[in-house]
Amino acid sequence: MNPLEPGDTLDHYRIEAAIARSGMSALYKATDLHDGKLVAVKVPLAEMEANPELFERFKREEEIGQMLDDPGIVKTYNDEERSRVYMVIEWVDGRLLRTILNAERKLPIERAVRIALGICGALDYMHKRGIVHRDLKPENVMVDADDRIKLIDFGIAMKEDARRLTFVNLTAMLGTPDYISPEQVKGSRGDQRSDIYALGIMLYEMLTGRVPFEGQNPLAAMNERVLNEPTSPRGLNAEISPELEEILYRALERDPRHRYATAHEMAWDLEHQEQVGVEERGMRPAARGVRQAVPRRMLLYAGLVLMPVLLFGLMLLLAKR
């Protein structure tokens, strides 16, 4: 089926512009001819419709979207019969958090915390309903003129009680390298604490202008978060308080058992920073902003960790072909 063009109609939606295209779907800005409202229309590509597993993922994304009704989450509509498969999504005015960060590099502390609190609220709502986003990143957060947020793109979200879907050549299922949690790097499907980890990375980036784990390539960056602690955020931005740094460390714990268990817990600390107890971390590489050499006894562990990372890289190469 040919791509839609401006002026085309899809049932009672008039296509106004093409917005984005991924390996699985195309996103359009459209007008609902029934009431004149702007909406976003997400249409699966022909190759997705022909692949039963990919098509099931698209339908699951629609199902998850229709379960969620919160001011911090983009709405997915389902109110009529359609001539083909597509999703109709709330049109959101604002800018992607990525666009804001590209323009400003880092944000004032008060603004960064305000945006993070908005994301916490949306995550808390989702998680209480058994939904995990699994691909939180600045590209999937819309911010309006008053810094209110909406989470978008539930393409790899999951219901915690749903069966696992396994795909070949679909690296998106693993999340985005800069924001993926250590447990996902090691092959876990992740849970709500994985979303909290991704939020910790986004808050770190908003406060410092960089992500906490970097490398010459995505594989190196993923390996860093499994073996090392993040560089001290206060070493990159002296305006960050010890309490706010502690919140970042708690969100970015490598072991999910030591991380914030819920987004509500993280939000409480962000709102009551004066009551956050600061752990002594002077002996950790994170506090000094340096990396320690990996002892010989950890080489076997490192090898085991690298196996899923290398698999990720192989899938990435195959997906680009």
Instruction: Say which residues have a Cβ less than 8 Å from residue 78's Cβ, sequence separation at least 6.
Output: 62, 66, 88
Q: Which of 205, 220, 181 is nearest to 309 (CA)?
A: 220
69 assigned to active site: no
Structure tokens at 95: 């800018």
Instruction: Say which residues have a Cβ less than 8 Å from residue 165's Cβ, sequence separation at least 6.
Output: 53, 56, 57, 60, 173
Dump the DSSP string for 43-64: EE-HHHHT-HHHHHHHHHHHHH
Starting at the earlier edge strand, list the strands of the sheet with 13-21.
Answer: 9-10, 13-21, 25-32, 38-44, 87-90, 76-77
Write down the H helix ranges in the chain.
Answer: 46-49, 52-67, 97-104, 109-128, 182-185, 192-208, 218-227, 233-236, 242-251, 263-271, 285-288, 299-320
Q: What are the φ/ψ torsions at residue 160 (nearest 5 degrees)?
A: -60, -25
Given the residues 8, 124, 135, 191, select the one marked as catalytic. Answer: 135
Residues belonging to the active site: 135
